[in-house]
Structure 1
Amino acid sequence: MRISNATRVLAETQDEYHAMAIKDEVIEGVNHMTSVWEPTPSELKMLNEGGAVVLTILGYGHPPVMVYTQPAPGEN
């Protein structure tokens, strides 16, 4: 899913990865890179059946991350 007001696309020219649109922001002096993810119908089914979200970080250090939900487009 493409984030509104994306400022750049990561891995755009790296065929081994899927390109990911992100929005760069500075919030209270902290740099943020935000992307939007939408589960496929089979992933949503798995989550509704008690499955979990998995986050993988490449490398040896784990940067701070945030994972949260947002309403569907058009909902407040």
Structure 2
Amino acid sequence: MQRIQHPSNNDVLGAPAGWDQKELLVSALPITRTEVNGIPAVTSFWKPSPEELARLNAGGSVSLWVIGGTMPPVALEVEP
């Protein structure tokens, strides 16, 4: 999936401090900083390629990868 610019985006995330770009490349990610019930949240927007859409339509699933040994609270949605 390709990250996309969304009209609500109001910031950009880069690689974390000390990140070794030679080991694993991290590109800039447009994000929307917001709140959910007063709790800070960050949203990024992604669009599947035609091939990924075909796999989804054939019953495939979306996988979420988080680098590290645990996963923070996350959510996946479909936006219009």
Q: Deviations over 1:32-73 (max 9, x none)?
A: 1011110011110110011110101111121100101112xx
Residue 70 of structure 1 corresponds to 79
Q: TM-score, normalised by structure 2?
A: 0.76
**Which AA in structure 2 matches 1:8?**
D
Structure having the larger proportion of residues in strand: 2
In structure 2, runs of 5+ residues without a counterpart are none
RMSD: 1.7
SS in 2 for 1:23: strand
Q: Which structure is richer in relative contact order (CA contacts within 8 A, separation 6 or more)?
A: 2
Q: Number of residues paired by the alignment?
A: 70
SS in 2 for 1:37: strand
Which runs of structure 1 show a deviation greater than 3 angstroms over 4 or more consecutive aligned residues? Answer: none
Residue 29 of structure 1 corresponds to 38
Percent of residue pairs identical: 33
Counterparts in 2 of 1:7-46, with a 5 A limit?
7-11=10-14, 16-46=25-55
Pairing 1:2–2:5 present:
yes
Q: TM-score, normalised by structure 1?
A: 0.79
In structure 1, runs of 5+ residues without a counterpart are 72-76
